[in-house]
Amino acid sequence: MQIISPPFTNVMSAMGDYDGFRNDRLEASPVQGRYNPPKGTTLSLAFASKVPSTIVKAYNAAPYGAYSRDGGNTWRDFPKRPSGATAGGTWSIAISADGRIIVWAPTGSALSFSTDFGNTWTACGGGVPAISPVADKLEPEQFYAYLASYGQLWVSTDGAKTFSRTITGLPSVPSYQSQDGNLNATPGHGGDVWICSGGGGLFHSVDSGNTASKVANVTAAFLLGFGKSAPAKTYPAIYLWGIVGGKLGIFRSIDSATSWSRINDDSHQFGYLHQISGDPRVYGRCYISAEGRGVLYGEPANGDTVYAPSTFKFDAPPADSIVHFYQKVPVTWSTATDPKGRTLTYILHFFGPGVDTTFTSTETSSIFSVGNVRASSMYTLTGYVTNGSDTTATSNSIPVVTASVLTGVMVSPTKTPGSYRLLQNFPNPFNPTTIIAYQIPVASRVTLDVYNILGQKVLEKRSGLLEPGIYREKFNMDMFASGVYIYSVTAAGSDGTRFVSSRKMLLMK
């Protein structure tokens, strides 16, 4: 349900049914077993950043909360609980940087604070709702509470006695996706917080939550955590579960979200994640808590530190370059660099009315063919660069305008695909329609299926015998709930070959 990585151990967990564990070793189960005394399902866990051995937790058995002052080796129940509490509450508890103030929103109760380890509780003032609190990692009197369903941020600077609403108008997160809306305070940086708003993206505040700026290169942000900074860096490494560069995955940034490195791949998405965290002691190590899988961790292969390539920039748009229905468009851009000297590939994305296509190049210029454009229309050219390990940096975007009258037709010769391939849907995320494309090298009978995250088939399209080529299918998912879906293509070739491939897509309403 929640994980933390304090500086005295690897990772600690809050788990359903079995309390949770302190994992001093990653290769073996904890000798001491689960937290003692056992309480069952534990929903929330937090430590004091300046006194990390002081930890608080919330769970579903009365009295619903406890604290430890020896790093989780032993626990003491809170003597009392806030009025009306009926359960511990998910992501419901926080403790100040100096370990003096506990702020808690147990199920059924108002957001409350205690300065005596639970002997007394006082409801927080200012009209703040009973929502998940987060302590500032440097300022002991400062707390935050993010009401994701209304896009509101609340801040307290007086030790949680009162909260004030500082920001409104952030993207709202539907109540059934409430955990996609969360706030994270940066270790070692007072007043520095990051706000995940699900499909609304990622926001960053450096002024104690008075204002927040959207991070342009993140399409969707579901979870975020911090770890040890990269060599020669001072800001913590950021770990993100979200969508960057059109891909849903797990990413790391070593430069305050200026660029991102993907650290998983399409074959290792791990299902639904409850939380993500780096390790404050080991750069590159990342922990995730995955539904039904426990706590997993990963490190750079062979201890190899991964650095993202630099970004690149398109030159001025080619004026009046599109004058035909089918036209070759020349474009140039600046050179990106890779710190480790790897070969870079540029992915160019050209889209607008009636057109949505991508091109690849390893050079810093390209001539590509665009078909079926419309007159007097504006198209957009953008892209990203990759080093072949799903490590990307995005470019700028430029407009490309078609002529007022399109004359003539240029037909580009088509080539038979050399292999089967299922392409990433576009747009992704989408609402409610998206295009799924695939290619077949021989005549094949094709089935295209869509499944929900539980593995239940929700849509199916079957074809007759298709000739070799590239095919695009439009799916309308207006009747389905937001969430991650899996689409799969199965092709039976006339030469006896069989091809099966799957990808993920995100419906966000």
- Specify if 82 maps to a domain: yes
Q: How far apart are CA 5 and CA 248, in angstroms?
A: 24
Parent domain of 358: 326-401
pLDDT digit string (tens) for the chain, length 509 residues: 889 998 878 899 998 888 899 988 888 888 888 998 889 999 999 999 988 889 999 999 999 999 998 888 889 999 999 999 999 999 999 999 999 999 999 999 999 999 999 999 999 999 999 999 999 999 999 999 999 999 999 999 999 999 999 999 999 998 878 788 999 999 999 999 999 999 999 999 999 999 999 999 999 999 999 999 988 889 999 999 999 988 999 999 999 999 999 999 888 888 889 999 999 888 899 999 988 888 999 988 755 444 556 667 777 554 444 554 445 666 778 888 776 677 788 878 777 787 777 778 887 777 666 767 777 777 777 777 776 654 455 666 677 777 665 543 332 334 567 788 888 887 788 888 888 888 888 889 999 999 998 888 988 887 778 888 777 787 888 888 899 999 999 999 988 999 999 999 999 88
Same domain, 76 and 4: yes
- Specify if 75 maps to a domain: yes
- Specify if 383 maps to a domain: yes
- Specify if 67 maps to a domain: yes
pTM of the model as a whole: 0.61
For 53-89, give one letter per residue: b (16+ CB within 10 A) or e: bbbbbbbbeebbbbbbbebbeebebbeebbeebebbb
Whole-angstrom CA distances from 85 to 82, 92, 112, 122, 123 are 6, 12, 11, 13, 12
Domain end marker among 91, 125, 141: 91
Residue 277 confidence (pLDDT) = 95
Domain end marker among 30, 59, 91: 91
Q: How far apart are CA 100 and CA 107, in angstroms?
A: 23
Q: Is the peptide bond before 63 cis (omega within 30 degrees of 0)?
A: yes
- Specify if 302 maps to a domain: no
Same domain, 397 and 439: no
Contacts of 98 (CB under 8 A, 6+ apart): 48, 50, 51, 140
Residue 258 confidence (pLDDT) = 92
Same domain, 15 and 74: yes
Residue 64 confidence (pLDDT) = 96
Q: How far apart are CA 146 and CA 67, in angstroms?
A: 24
- Specify if 445 maps to a domain: yes
Same domain, 11 and 81: yes
Single-letter amino acid, residue 210? N
Reduced to 3 states (helix: H, G, I; strand: E, B; else coil), residue 166 is: strand
CATH code for the domain of 433: 2.60.40.1220
SS (H, E, C) 39-91: CCCEEEEEECCCCCCCEEEEECCCCCEEEECCCCCCCEECCCCCCCCCECCCC
Q: How many CB atoms lie within 10 A of CB 430?
A: 18
Q: How far apart are CA 453 and CA 480, in angstroms?
A: 12
Same domain, 441 and 378: no
Contacts of 418 (CB under 8 A, 6+ apart): 441
Same domain, 14 and 87: yes
For 389-424, give one letter per residue: b (16+ CB within 10 A) or e: bbbbbbbeebebbbbeebeeeeeeeeeeeeebebbb
Same domain, 440 and 492: yes
- Specify if 207 maps to a domain: no
Same domain, 394 and 430: no
| C-alpha 444 chain-centroid distance | 37
Residue 314 confidence (pLDDT) = 77
Same domain, 378 and 457: no
Domain end marker among 91, 114, 136: 91
Number of domains the chain contains: 3
How many CA atoms lie less than 13 Å away from 270 in the CB half-sphere? Answer: 22
Same domain, 432 and 503: yes
CATH code for the domain of 333: 2.60.40.10
- Specify if 315 maps to a domain: no
Q: What angle do CA 335, 217, 304 make, to 5 degrees?
A: 65
Same domain, 34 and 87: yes
Q: How many CB atoms lie within 10 A of CB 282?
A: 14
Same domain, 397 and 426: no
